[in-house]
Amino acid sequence: MEAKPKPRWKVVAWLIVSQLMALGTLLFWVLVAGLSVMAFDSGQSAQAWLFVGLVWAYPLVPLVLAIAAWIAFAFRKNTLAVVLSTLTFIPPVVLYVFIWAANTFYPLFS
């Protein structure tokens, strides 16, 4: 008797939904990327170049993780595929936590 393979439609659904949401974060990235060059308003510095470089490199994160997730899915590593697809949300979550912390704790130190 052969074991029945588990249905993978939930994994496919999550891969598609999470990657569409990651694509949605790129809409906001366009605005941030355009404004990031204002870091050079006070002149060129290593910090300005680092900031602009990191902002402009952001689209590589969802792209690489999406490709890796689909490769893992093709090799039937469903858990890895779900984790890799979920990791695309780490940069926006870190940004929101940073903004929240800055807004919460700034009045305490000023």
Stretches where the chain sits below pLDDT 50 are none
The pLDDT value given to residue 46: 92
pTM recorded for the entire structure: 0.77
The pLDDT value given to residue 34: 93
SS3 of the chain: CCCCCCCCHHHHHHHHHHHHHHHHHHHHHHHHHHHHHHHHCCCCCHHHHHHHHHHHHCCHHHHHHHHHHHHHHHCCCHHHHHHHHHHHHHHHHHHHHHHHHHHHHHHHHC
For 108, the token pair is: 């305490």
How far apart, in whole angstroms, are the C-alpha atoms of residue 15 and residue 17?
6
Q: Give residue-wise pLDDT tens across range 49-77.
A: 998 999 999 899 899 999 999 999 999 99
